[in-house]
A and B are shown apart, each in its own frame.
Chain A
Amino acid sequence: MKYIIIIIYGIWFYQRKNKARMERRKIKLAFSIWLRQMEVLLAYNTVSVAIDKSIEEAPTNLKPYLSQLNQQIKTNPQLEDSYTNFLKELEDIKIERTMHHLYRYALLGTADVENQLTRIIEENAEELRKHRKAIFESQLSFYSVYGLIPMILMSLIVLGILFIVLTYLMKGGWQA
């Protein structure tokens, strides 16, 4: 009984952990996609206006976080924490760095900061590629499990044939 409880707990724990990991991955991907859109908006808008405009077309799972950020910026545009606290629970250094640069760009708006932000946005394109490749790789992992099926099937059939031969040779099996 205790083994069954351990196994059930193990499965539950693994599924929970896996779900949380998938959720984190989805939000990171959504952030990269949002930043890709921000690149267009930032060209002709201030940071606060660009964030405000981006909410409508942002990935669904990011909208609540963006609305909260937008609200905080509207309340206190000078407060750095509004930017740096964005998606803080993910503890992602890239997100933190990007938000910090966005804050600097919003506050200073100099050419130097703009260049830094452009570099980050360009890096983000690579990040999006990495996300895409990770999704592709996870899809390919299907074959590593699925590839075992013919081999398992083969083993079972060989065993089955041997069993048939054995029972036949024993004239009906060991009960006789």
Chain B
Amino acid sequence: MILVVVFVLVLLFEIKAIKKDIKGFKDSWFLIIPLLFSIVVLGRMFKLKPLYLLYLSIMGFISSLLLIYFNLQYMAKRDNFYRLTDYLLRLSNYYRIYQKAQTAYEKAGLDYDLSPYHQHYLVKSLLEIMQVGETVSHDKTEYQLKRIEYDIEKWIQDTRQYQLQEKQHFQRLMMLIGFSLAIIYLTQKMLHHILEIHRLSSYQNLIFIFLSSILIIILISSKRLTKNWILKEEYL
């Protein structure tokens, strides 16, 4: 119990730390109540004992907190990606107009730190174009900047498309989980005509394990959505 409380507290601190930078956080809190409620309702539907219901409620509460945490991480990664690509496009545009790196940085926004992404090949190329433009000549900079802007736009497009596809796959997985829940519910409902199966402890254990596994599957697949939007393979 102490471990659970410590875990919840750590999670709440983590959520607090991330939420500062994310605007849409308010929308996430409402997840706790329906998730907790649906877990308990599911337990009731499968006629689980109160003790198992209590366990499920605790697991449901922790899972909902974790889901909020994963959702926040997803939002943070998404915002990071858009902030970076937006900044790169602005930087490139301003450099093309003013042909001065310092002015381009000032116009694009001095508050943004590009250093964590220096090793990404597109960031690196843009910085090199600017450096060569500053030190050698601007003759071919215009063409190269246009090409890099095109590449960045395609990068945004590909990543956005992939993220959408991943979300769709996640939703399909949730549908499959719903489908499996419905089948098991109907199976045990049909068997009630033969015997009151819910009185058997083996049935209680089986359903409890099933519902717990479903929660774990949801958590693992949500965790997958929190991956970084920038591919590590594209770093030098």
Contact = CB atoms under 8 A, between A and B. Distances in A.
Contacts of B147: 39, 122, 125
A33 B217 CA distance: 37
Contact of B184 (A58, A146, A161): A161
B180 interface: yes
Given A57-B236, A129-B158, A140-B166, 11 more contacts: A26-B233, A36-B125, A39-B144, A132-B155, A135-B231, A143-B170, A147-B169, A147-B176, A150-B179, A153-B180, A153-B210
Nearest to B195: A168
Chain A: number of interface residues, binned into ranges: 35 or more
Given A40-B125, A157-B210, A147 B172 contact: yes
A163 B136 CA distance: 79
A8 interface: no
B47 to A, nearest CB: 13
B187 interface: yes
B121 A140 contact: no
A154 to B, nearest CB: 4
Interface in B217-233: 217, 220-221, 224, 227, 231, 233
B224 A142 contact: yes
B162 A43 contact: no
B10 to A, nearest CB: 27
Interface string A137-176: 0011011001101110110011011101100110000000
A122 B123 CA distance: 18
A43 B188 contact: no
Interface of A: 26, 29, 33, 36-37, 39-41, 43-44, 57-60, 122, 125, 128-129, 131-133, 135-136, 139-140, 142-143, 146-147, 149-151, 153-154, 157-158, 160-162, 164-165, 168-169
Interface stretch (B54-62, B83-91, B100-108, B200-208): B200-208
Contacts of A26: 233
A140 B165 contact: yes
A159 B121 CA distance: 53
B124 interface: yes
A156 B190 CA distance: 17
A161 B176 contact: no
Given A140-B166, A146-B173, A164 B206 contact: yes
B128 A165 contact: no
A128 to B, nearest CB: 8
Interface residues of B, number: 54
B140 A43 contact: yes
B216 to A, nearest CB: 10
Given A146-B173, A169-B195, A136 B158 contact: yes
B8 interface: no
16 contacts: A37-B128, A43-B132, A44-B132, A57-B236, A129-B154, A143-B169, A143-B170, A147-B172, A149-B217, A151-B180, A153-B180, A153-B214, A154-B184, A161-B184, A161-B188, A161-B191
B183 interface: yes
B151 interface: yes
A14 B162 CA distance: 28
B194 interface: yes
A151 B184 CA distance: 11
